[in-house]
Structure 1
Amino acid sequence: MKILIKNGTVIIDGCRRIENGAVLVDDQKIVGVYKDYQNIDCDRAIDVQNHYIMPGFIETHTHGDLGFDFNNCQMSDIYKISDALLDEGVTCFMASLTCENHEYMLNLLDEYEKCNVHNLLGVHLEGPFLSQEMPGVMKIESLMLPQIDIFDEYLQHCSKIKSMTIAPELDHALELIQHGHNKGIVMNIGHSNASASQVMEAQSYGAKGITHLYNAMSQHLHRNPGVVTGAFLSDLYCELIVDKFHIHEDVIQATYRAIGKNRIVLICDANPCKGLKDGIYEFSGKEIEIIDGKARVKETGRIAGSTLRLNQACRHMREICGCSMEDVVQMVTVNPAQMYGLNKGKIEVGYDGDIVVVNDQFDVLAVVNDGEIQKMSL
């Protein structure tokens, strides 16, 4: 079906826009981008009433939704997560898995190998090769030193593995980063007590990004520069949780000024309780309490992921930094698509037919996903 999304400001990518433009989607692909869209042949036209037409949002780091945890939910529940994410403009996502014991993880990866949810980009392994000094909410008993044979065993069980978070200061981590990079896996630095120089060395071995910058890592200290300093010095992509809770607004603004829109990747790092009311829940083997949408481990008070929606992260970024709509699109679609080598993230002929329509507050008004209308409130 040919769908024409018209009469809106088309944000093509992080630099370009077309005022009063239109986009034509057919057979799951973008087949036309127009300034003059009169007499365009289509089966369905969506008049977006002068709102914004953008590429579908890409969520590369989330642990679940609506009480469904990627570590233990049924594969059929991932359809429910996928549908819920459409409400926030997310047209594709990664399933981030927290650390488990080896046998459990292999069985879990076997399940993901059989998963055929079309919006699922793949699996992100957040560990187990992480620093015991920076575990966050990870199960410390499941952390281990990097081992290439274990990593290869993961890949043998699941071809859908697309990324891994690893602490580069650990013994044999650099060899594993290089090994993973050469196999096409995006290797990200996180849950790490590395120095800035170790971050730079990891980049030279093939590391591509920083997992949730500032959280669960060594900081930017003037006599002891850590992962955060390394992020500033490097060319790595940097995930950012912009929920006004994980990171102070001044630091978000400083980060935007320091590293710019071309390296920030907006994420939610949502815990599985996102979308549920305040209360007591379980995540990564710990009892967490959500109060006013803020999640903490009940016993320690440690932050336990977010309940953030990705369209909210976009709105917050614009409010805090005063950046343009194009800048936000760069951070929520272009950068993650480039990072993971996806045919997505821009409104260009030949790109996947994932389109989201939003107002200036990033409220989602319509979603065209994989060439089909999935959400409509215009």
Structure 2
Amino acid sequence: MDPYADSLAFGQRLQILRTRRGLTRDQLGGLVGRSGSWVKGVETGRLKMPKLEFILALAEALRVRDLSDLTGDQSLHVDLFAGPGHPRLAAVKAAVDAWPIATTREASPTTHIRARLASAWSARHSAPNHREVIGLLLPELIRDAQIAVRQADTSPERRKAQAVLAEVYSLCQFFVAYQPDAALLWRVAERGLVAAQESEDSYAIGVAAWLATQAHRDSGAAHYDAADAVNLSTLDYLAPLLDDASDDIRAIAGALTFEAGYTAARRGATGTAWRFWDTARAMAASLPAGFYDPVTSFSRAVMGAHAVTIAVELRQGGESVRQAVAAEATTIPSRPRRARHRIEEARGYQLDGQSEVALATLERAHEAAPETIRYNGYAKRIVLEEAESKSPTRRRRASELAVKIGLLAA
């Protein structure tokens, strides 16, 4: 059956989308704070279509990209977990899809490509419009890294080129994520994994696995096992190297350790989630005070933000707020990562019933990096829900923010 057919009732659409995500009724009910029998009642039509807050919660749990796919209301086209499609997406896609096997263009030295890559990461962290910045740089970076692999004369040179190519694909995945081209995202993720393995570079392997873990987890509950498989096997690979490892290797191991906790939190495994977070915190504490990994943001500074994320995913509103307050004194140097942290804080405040604070926190996220909030489904869900609030003040504030991030016309 096609959930996008106009004749289907809301409950039928819900059942089809739930089944496709591999969720039981009890699992979906737990994700939205309801019982499995409530889900059954909605699916069978015994209960009427729920209020907006539950429609948005169901859309989030099912990773529905467009609300009309769930509601059937073709006037309600709101992309939740996909952004509007960046103007530079086509050029980046063309570079990814290119096959420069017969090019006469001479390869740039890998040291030169790596220096440009470092500059691109630096620009991303400092820019409020970070997708625009890296979208401008990526096409040439991708082409040059591909050609460098193709024209490498020796095995060591080829491995170095593969490592650079893997890390260019990592930057590309940040650009492609949450854009309306899931196939491209997976193509980039898989090519990054292959290039990293060919490079035999431990850091490149760790980063590619870190991003693949996120791609699997963001695909929904049916893919959590795949996320864990990539994540935990990479941690096993890195473990023997850590005693004498450089800071960047220890940082990617720490980032992967947190990701294992993040996936556990999505599963609702409270003890496991916090245990992984605590291990990752100890790993971050062993790094130099000013260390900040440019890809994963792993550092001492980010562990407070990670604690907020764990608490939010476990739906622990009070704990989310407590961790948000504890993390407030720490400044995350990356603007997009800081904006993402504000969004996680806003989720926590909303869980705790502090909707005014949640909206104020989303406004701070928008100030830090407008492109981050524009592509974030959790932020859009809060804004849409509060735009229907009974409080005129909250309605006005949410509506103004909705205009800023493109959910409503000015």
TM-score (structure 2 length as normaliser): 0.28
Q: Which structure is larger by alpha-carbon Rg, 1 or 2?
A: 2
Task: Say which structure, 1 or 2, has more relative contact order (CA 8 Å, 6+ apart).
Answer: 1
More helix as a share of residues: 2
